[in-house]
Structure 1
Amino acid sequence: MKFKWNAVVIALLLAVAAPVSALPENGLKFVETADGRQSARTRELVQWTHSRLVFEKTLKRVAVGQESTMQVEVLGANEVLALAKKVGRTSIMVWYTDGSSETFLFSVVEDLSVLRRALSDIHPNIRIQLAPDRAALVLRGKVPTVDYRMAAESAARNYLDVGLGGSRGNVDVLMQSAGGTLFLDELCEMDLNLQAKLLRFLQTGTFSRVGGQTVLHSDIRIVCATNRDPAREVGEGRFREDLYYRLNVIPVQLPPLRERGADIMLLAEHFLAEKTKANDKHFRGFTPEVKSMIMQHDWPGNIRELQNVIENVVVINDGELVSVEMMPSLAPVLSKAPAKPAAVVPSNSVPSFGSVSSPTGAGMQGIRPLWIVEKEAIEYAIEQCGDNIPLAAACLGVSASTIYRKKKSWDSGGQG
């Protein structure tokens, strides 16, 4: 079964001007583009290339509407050299010696030849064309499977976002967030190379486009979120230690849904009312058995899982109260009726530091020097982390260099 694009549009982060239809102009004999082709109907010039415009009549004066888009220079009696500088549209006004004048509308577009060859390598039937009504590209052509389409779209996005100007989407986000807050979700999923760039930006507040020389500045507040343990990611080498400490200024621990207590039912009732209204149903609450199921469930998927379970119930069923029969996925919870035991810390799970019964007298023998207490705590953390010092340091809230320095001092008989 062949897959056919139905005008799949990839929006350009680099503004690509739509083609301009040729107007009935008599004075322009032809346009010779940088590749040597000559045509009287060419109105698209590739950025940063020269083109030669040859006219039928003798020129008196030439002017360009947007000098930032195109630069023109009269070469002779009837020739003009045009340099396409910036993507966009501009008009060229021409005055002839016979007193007449004409206006020509040109577009400056990106050079997409490399992208076209890349798409052809994916599949020879794939082609791109400029959308006639907006700054966008359209992928067309029949391909054997959807995998070819996904590969082509990925290649086009990567080329347009990075190859022609360099991470403009990221740059735009930083510029738009200036003076405000930027939220980075799933922080621990970030590539190590991108982590280094983020760290550099956090330290200096400056950044540059890939391949660009201009240094840009943005003063923003960073808020991050992750469902992983950043300290463990640091210890296992998947997250930069210096970036971890740079971001870990005001940590906020959000407890999982199973630890929210009464909030679980508040959220469940909220989602039930929301989904009931959206699906035009009549639910108004839960039976006592269902409330017990909801409170006892572990909810490993947190709020998303709760929301999806409620939506599934509302879409498939109807009634006024949600019953056990409507929630078969949570029914096994009823067989686990015993309440969840409170967490118990074994007596030997942490080092014993002695006790003090009074500031003076016999109880004083229970007090030990602080450096010994610190040493035992660090050694215990290293043991629990499988001798992974960076991970132990992250868990203790200190830098790995601090632990290495103290260990060196202890090994030489010092007190850290």
Structure 2
Amino acid sequence: MPTLLVVDDEEPNRLALERIFTREGYEVRTAADGRAALDHLRDGAVGVVLTDLKMPGMTGLELLRAARQITPETQVIVVTAYGSVETAVEAMKEGAYDFVTKPLRKDAVVHSVQKALEKYELVRENLRLRAQIAQVARTEMVGQAATMRALLEEAGQVAPSMANVLITGESGTGKGLLARWIHDMSPRRDRRMVTVNCGAIPEALLESELFGYEPGAFTGAQGRKEGRFDLAGGGTLFLDEVTEMPLILQVKLLRVLQDGEYERLGGTRTLKADVRVIAATNRDPAKAVSEGRLREDLFYRLNVIPLTVPALRDRREDIALLARHFVANHAARHGRHIIGIDSDALGALERHNWPGNVRELENTLERAVVLARGDTVALVDLPAALRGGAGAVEAGWLTFTVGTPLGQVERRMIEATLRQCSGDRSLAANLLGISARSIYRREADWRGEE
């Protein structure tokens, strides 16, 4: 059973409540003040906090606010004197589960804790289900290369935090997809992720898009319009191509990141921003700073957690995996009966350098699925530039990132050797030092995996 934490600065009250709930079968911890209570919360597994409202130092209301930051799923019940009901109601607005008044009645306080514990278990179960859903979202970040595994591991560590994230990488590598993945893995997953492409919105409109405006702010501003910071309240704001933002707006963005405050265009009321900011750029941000395109102080504010998405040419071992993923997705989307991609087409994809990265690969395969003449994407279905080997890696060589699973290395090597031998399995087997039967067996295993 999860732990009940009793917080009261008066020892007789703590001991009395500890005895009551121990007899009820609860595991009970006690704390004499708010700071000691926070230490217990950081240790984890506290389902319900039963805290006195009036305590020296940290009050019960301040403890409630801190507890919601540390373990949002923990339910808090406040204990208040008869004349302090208004304060208890304020605690309910701050997120307390319930309040009980002094003098405490055993049946009432036990019933309240029992219901709070049921709520805690329900919240925990919802979190587990959401984690499973988010795990499915992980599959959209397709990749088994060591660089991608390291990237997703780091992103998974920072996702639950509120830290700003700066994602860098070439165009088409999937920076926006990674930002969405981080949002889906965060406690803010139930709220919106709002995207702003700072390079696509004209400079004259970008300020009103970000911060909104009040009536009369400019000619034609008839009513109030909420900005992206308003729309992303409680969620995530994704600033794509942030290095393209005009310098005058970078100052205003910096203020939001530092102070959490902003005003709408033409407004005088200061608003609070409750957003987690994720930014991305296809430029080298340090170079953008030196060139005067990006303010240095803004760079440091955004660059709390830097993540770099590798170029597709730097994780070639993922090309086959991505290709099969895109073929399956677009076959379903376009209603085509396509069962896979043949080895010749796969070889051409693996030899290409992909300057447009994953986006170019996906577009190429969507075209191939639509134009495919049979039930398999073949070499003839690919663009002429790929069929002719333009952009190919050096013939006769394969590259692998350190840490690539041996199964992937073996498959790529066998398939590349078969292509070089024009499908002659006996010759390929001799070159590889294995039997032709081994190649047939491996191919059957691969078909089973697909």
More strand by percentage = 1
Using structure 1 for the length normalisation, give the TM-score: 0.41
More helix by percentage = 2
Higher Cα radius of gyration: 1
